[in-house]
Chains A and B, each alone.
Chain A
Amino acid sequence: MEAFLLFGLFLITIFLGIPVATALGFTSCLLIWNYNIGVQGISPTFYAGVAKFQLLAIPFFILAGLIMDRCGISRRLVHLISLVVGPIPGGLALVTIIVGLIFAGISGSGPADTAALGTILIAAMAARGYAIPFTSALIASSGALAIIVPPSIAFIIYGIITGTSIPALFAAGVIPGIITGLFLMIPSFIISWKKGWKGERWGTPGEIWKAFKEAFWGLIAPFVILGGMYGGIFTPTEAAVVAVFYGLFVGMVIYRELNFSALYELLRDAMLSSAVIMIIVAFAGLFAWTGSTLGVMDKFSGYLLSLSTNPWIIMILINIMLFIAGMLMDAISIYYIFLPILIPLMKTFNWDPIWFGVVMTVNLAIGQLTPPVAVNLYVVCNIAKISLEEVSRAVIPFILIMLVALAIIIAFPALSTYLPALFKLS
C-alpha cells in the first residue's frame, strides 16, 4: 500500500505537469504526514540533503562548462578538428562527436555540453547541407557523453548516495565514454555517406599546426582538470574550482573573449542551472528517505530478487527499468529513487559498485535523449528551433547504437574497472 501510494502519487503529480522537484516534495510530505513518520523531519532532511561538501562541485562544474563554452575554446577546437578530419563522409558529424568528447572532459552536465556544441555547430552544419533534425539529434547524443566522461555531475551524485569514491568513478568513466563516442560515429558515418554529406578538405600541415597552437589551451583543459585530480591532492570539488579559474584565465587573458559583463551573465546562468539541480537533489533526498523509512525500498528489492536468482536476468531487468525511468525523469531523481532499491541487489550479487555506477550512468545518459523527458533534446530544440517530434525521430539510430555500447559495457566490467585499478583508486 505504501509503495503504491508513494510511486502512484508521484507519477500522477508528474503527469499533471508539476515540476519534478515539487512532485517529489509533495509526495514525500503527504506520505510522511499520512503515516506519521515525523513531519518535523521534513526541514532537517531537506537541509541535510543540500548541505554536503561534495555537492559544491556541481555549481562549479556547471560554471566551468559555461565558461569553456564562451571563452573561445569551442570555435578553435571545431576549426582544428575539421582540418584534421578532412573530406570524409560526415566530416562535421565526426567533428561534433570528437569535440563533444573533449567538452565532456571539461564539463559534467549533458544539457550544458549540448548547448555548447549546438550554438556553434548547428548553423555550421546546416550551411554544409546537413539536415537539421539529424544534426540536432547528433549534438544531443554527443552532449550525453558529458555525464559518462569525467568530470560528471551524475558520478558525483552516485558517489554520494552509494559512498563510492568519486575520483574512482571518474576514472572508470573514461574508457566507456570514449567507446560510446566511437559507437556514435557509426550511424553518423552511415547516414552522412548515404545522404552524400561530406566534410571540407584536409588542412595543410602549416594550417593544422597554426590551428593546433590556437586550440592548444582547450585541448589540454581536460588534462589540467583531471590530471590535477589524479596527480595531487585535489578533491573533485577542488578540481571543479580549478576548472573555473583555468577557463577564466584562458578566456580573459589568452583569448580575451570574456569580459566582466559576460562573466556576470555566466555566474547568473550557472547559479540558476545549479539551483534547478540542487532543488531536485533536496526533494529527491526527502523522497528516498520517506521510501526507506516506510520500508518501501527494501520491499522493492525483495520483489526484484524474487523474480530471478540469475544475476544477468536481474541486470537486464534493472536496465529496462532504468531505460523506462529515463523517459519520465531526469538522471538525478532516478539515482535518488532507484539506488536505495538497487544497493541491496548490488550487495546480494557482489557487483562492483564502480562498474554498476558506470552501467547506470550510461543508461541514464541515454535517458537524456529519450522523450518525453529528454533534457538534451529540449536544449537542442530551443537552439535549432525545431519540434521535439522531429528530433525524436532523428535520434532513434543514436539511441539504438548507445544501447549496443551499454550492452558491451555491461558484458565487460574490465572496461570500467581497469583504470580505477591502475590508479589504485578502488
Chain B
Amino acid sequence: MLAVMAVFAFLNVLTRYFIQYSFAFTEEIEVALLVWLTMLGASAGFRRGMHLGFTFLAEKFPASARKIFIVLSALLSIIVFVLLLLFGIGQIGQELQLQITTEALGIPQWIYTLALPIGSVLIIFRIMEATFRALRRKAD
C-alpha cells in the first residue's frame, strides 16, 4: 500500500511534465500525499524502531532501569501524538465550520488534514506495539 502511494506521487509528477497546464492541481495532490506519506511512513518507522534517537546513554543502564526508559520514552511519544490527534480533530472541526476549500482543486481542506488524526492513531498503536515487543524481549 505504501508503494502504491509513492507510485501515485510519481505519476503525478510525470503528468506534470507532459501536460504543463495541470501544474497547480498536481502540485496540490503531491503536497497532500507528502503529508500522508509522512504520517503513514512514520508509523511504520515506529514499528521497526527506525527513528533516530540518542540511545547511547540509556543503553549504559542495567536492564531493569532500561525498562523504565523504554516505557517513559513510549509514554512521552504517545502524549505528543495524542495531542496531535486532538488538535488535528479540532483543526478539521474548524475547517468544516468555515468551509475552507483548497486553492487548486476547490475540495474541502479537511480531506487533506485528515492525515494528521488518522496518522496519529496509527502511530500511537505502532508505538504501543513496538514497546510491548521491546519489553517482552527484555523479559526473556
Chain A interface (Cβ within 8 Å of chain B)? 13-23, 25-26, 29, 39-40, 42-44, 46-47, 50-53, 55-56, 59-60, 63, 237-238, 241, 244-245, 264, 267-268, 270-276, 278-280, 282-283, 328, 330, 371-373, 375
Contact = CB atoms under 8 A, between A and B. Distances in A.
29 contacts: A13-B76, A15-B54, A16-B76, A17-B53, A17-B57, A17-B59, A17-B73, A18-B77, A19-B53, A20-B51, A22-B77, A25-B84, A29-B80, A42-B83, A43-B88, A43-B91, A44-B91, A46-B84, A50-B38, A53-B30, A53-B31, A56-B34, A264-B3, A267-B3, A271-B3, A275-B40, A276-B52, A283-B80, A373-B56
Contacts of A271: 2-3, 5-6, 37, 40-41, 44
Contacts of A328: 54
A268 B35 CA distance: 16
Nearest to A375: B52
Contact of A26 (B31, B56, B80): B80
A328 B55 CA distance: 11
Interface string B99-113: 000000000000011
Contacts of B76: 13, 16, 18, 22-23, 26
A276 B31 contact: no
Interface of B: 2-3, 5-7, 9-10, 13-14, 17, 27, 30-32, 34-35, 37-42, 44-45, 48, 50-59, 69-70, 72-73, 76-77, 79-81, 83-84, 87-88, 90-91, 112-113, 116
B87 A40 contact: yes
Nearest to A275: B41
Q: Which of B5, B54, B81 has the most CB of A within 10 A?
A: B54
A134 B91 CA distance: 52
B87 A39 contact: yes
B80 A43 contact: no
Contacts of A59: 6, 9, 34, 37
